[in-house]
Amino acid sequence: EDKVVQSPLSLVVHEGDTVTLNCSYEVTNFRSLLWYKQEKKAPTFLFMLTSSGIEKKSGRLSSILDKKELFSILNITATQTGDSAIYLCAVLPNTGNQFYFGTGTSLTVIP
Amino acid sequence: SQTIHQWPATLVQPVGSPLSLECTVEGTSNPNLYWYRQAAGRGLQLLFYSVGIGQISSEVPQNLSASRPQDRQFILSSKKLLLSDSGFYLCAWSVSLGYNEQFFGPGTRLTVL
């Protein structure tokens, strides 16, 4: 059965800390992995990863994929209170039309 | 540009009452449409997806149903709500034929009392 597992489930850090969020997957015929940030309502897209070892970067956020070990990490450096959110990982297989979402990591950044 | 609408934004319903949540997409044709439920502070659980008018795939057995009466309209329904149906319901769309990104609507917060 295809599945996506995120860890940790929740995390509380202080402003300025660096965090690493994990996403591992078992999905047949992997196509791409996506990271989303969800604050109060709709998830917003962060990154899409399709190739191993190529880091995607946007400001203080970066992400990388390891297709051999079947996982991805999302790094946030110099965290700010505005980074507090649920971070969702989703995997899209080549076949079918559905995305497999992980359970999310709830990040709280305290001043 | 494409936009996705959901309504209502919040809903409080008694147990045993019916439900109808609506989602519409503008600015694209023949989208894949999805309904997700999210329990408080958790990830997304796929409920239904649709690749075309009248085509619904159900992922989780439950007392909910979905319909797609028009190309860009997706409806989530129930005849009798349960307490466990409470949650945050998100509609999403993606370009058909397996494009890589899903776009989410603003969601509906449903509380069943």
Confidence of residue A27 (pLDDT cuts 50, 70, 90): confident
Query: Taking the CB of residue B61, how many other CB atoms lie within 10 A of it?
Result: 6
Q: Say if the Cβ atoms of A98 and B49 lie within 8 Å.
A: yes
Q: For chain A, say whether B51 makes contact (Cβ under 8 Å).
A: yes
pLDDT, tens digit, 9 for 90 and up, residues A57-72: 999 999 999 989 999 9
Q: Which residues contact B1 (CB under 8 A, 6 or more apart)?
A: B27
Give the CA angle between residues B6, B56, B63 to the nearest 5°.
75
- Partners of B98 on chain A (C-beta within 8 Å) are 31, 92, 94, 96-97
Tokens of A51: 């190739």
- Partners of B105 on chain A (C-beta within 8 Å) are 42
pLDDT, tens digit, 9 for 90 and up, residues B18-75: 999 999 999 988 899 999 998 776 678 889 989 899 999 887 767 899 999 999 999 9
Within 13 Å, how many C-alpha atoms sit on residue B106's CB side?
Answer: 8
Instruction: Verify cis geometry, omega within 30 degrees of 0, for the bond prior to A8.
Output: yes
Candidate from A18-27, A39-48, A78-87 with smallest mean pLDDT: A39-48
Q: Which residues pair with A80 in a beta bridge?
A: none
Q: Quote the longest CA-to-CA distance of chain B.
A: 40
